[in-house]
Amino acid sequence: MKNALTVPQKTLTLLLCLFMTVSVLGGCGRREPFVRTLFALDTVVSVTYYDSRDAEAIAKIPERLEYYEGIFSRTRKGSELYEINARLAEAAAEGLTDVRLPLSLEMYQALSLALEYARLTDGAFDPTLGRLSELYNFSGSQHTVPSEAQRTEILSHCGYENLRVENAPSSAWPWHLTVEDPAIVIDLGGMAKGYIADRLKEELLAEGVTGAILNLGGNVLVLGKKPDGGPYTVGVAKPEAGSSDYLITFPLSDASAVTSGSYQRFFEENGVIYHHILDPGTGLPAQSGLKSVTVVAECSAVADILSTALFVMGKDAGTAFLEGFPEIEVYFVDEQGALIRD
């Protein structure tokens, strides 16, 4: 078995294209932007801003990222999601069904959105594939290719239809999750960074920040416009591991751009490449004829979710699905490296 080549998930523009765009700008008496970089959410996070008066608000971001990681990390012991899955495992061992668990407001919001788009995409996005992801172990050094029997068994305990979120204002804790099959492992890796980016944007706006770029491991969210009033420029990366070339660039203001691609996290075994975007129907890496999908949307969580779902669907089914979402812009890249804009 060969070791995996691991690249930050959903790598899109990264900072190269962004910095090339903003570095020549004048803003607040400073030609170069301020950039703060840190490691969080198992990836490199950067925040670019232009007004020195925003430094106090930006300085709060590491603490906020720590807070959100304490909610959404599937692997961090003590996080809310870790504890939810642990309690489900205990319930499954006891043979229980219809397990009801309390949720924080953030988890309630994220799960509600995840389940809404799971239904809209007819399961192309599914937040219940955690057991499969654990088995493949794309982020680790020791990988497993599950057998057909293993996939069949695990998939029999998957399915977003087994999850139900509730808001009961009369109860002591108003937000709850009911799980019909507690053998499920919930994984929000396909949308958590997008959700967090949206919350950080809200928090920065509340602090009076009117212009910034948030890059959560390639999930790019642009707040406002450049200091001169024009849009930023981002790009669709050439879908090759480690490439810094771009197939196309485009303007972006007050929106998010997120890419999912088969070249980002994968491993090779016996000459076969296994990438991290799993097809909920088969439990195997999606074979849709695509190498990447980039989604541009106002809501970063929606862009995050749809970049995965559209990759699973493929170009034709994805294009048909997008007829109901005229406000969303999508760039498909096929296996031959051709860019197709929807």
Domains observed in the chain: 5-66+190-341 (3.10.520.10), 70-179 (1.10.3980.10)
Is 90 exceeded by the pLDDT of residue 17? no
CB 215 within 8 A of CB 41: no
**HSE-up (13 A, CA, CB side) for residue 339:** 13
User: Among 36-50, 105-119, 157-171, which stretch is predicted with the lowest mean pLDDT?
Assistant: 157-171
For residue range 59-95, list pLDDT tens digits in order.
999 999 999 999 999 999 999 999 999 999 999 999 9
> Pairing state of beta strands 212-216 and 290-297?
unpaired
Find the angle CA(313)-CA(314)-CA(320) to the nearest 5 degrees: 75
* pLDDT-based confidence at residue 22 (cuts at 50, 70, 90): very low
Residue 26 in this model has a pLDDT that exceeds 80: no
Q: Which amino acid makes up residue 146?
A: P
CA separation for the pair 187, 74 (Å, rounded): 6
**Segment (H or E) for 266:** strand 265-269
- Condensed to tens digits (0 to 9), the pLDDT of residues 114-145 reads 999 999 999 999 999 999 999 998 888 889 99
Threshold 0.75, pTM exceeds: yes
Asked whether residue 10 carries a pLDDT value surpassing 80, the answer given is no
Please give the share of the chain, as a percent, with pLDDT higher than 70: 89
Q: Quick one: average pLDDT of 24-39?
A: 65
- pLDDT of res. 30: 45
Strand partners, 334: 290
Asked whether residue 172 carries a pLDDT value surpassing 80, the answer given is no
Q: What is the pLDDT of residues 271-323, one digit of tens each?
A: 888 999 999 999 999 999 999 999 999 999 999 999 999 999 999 999 999 99
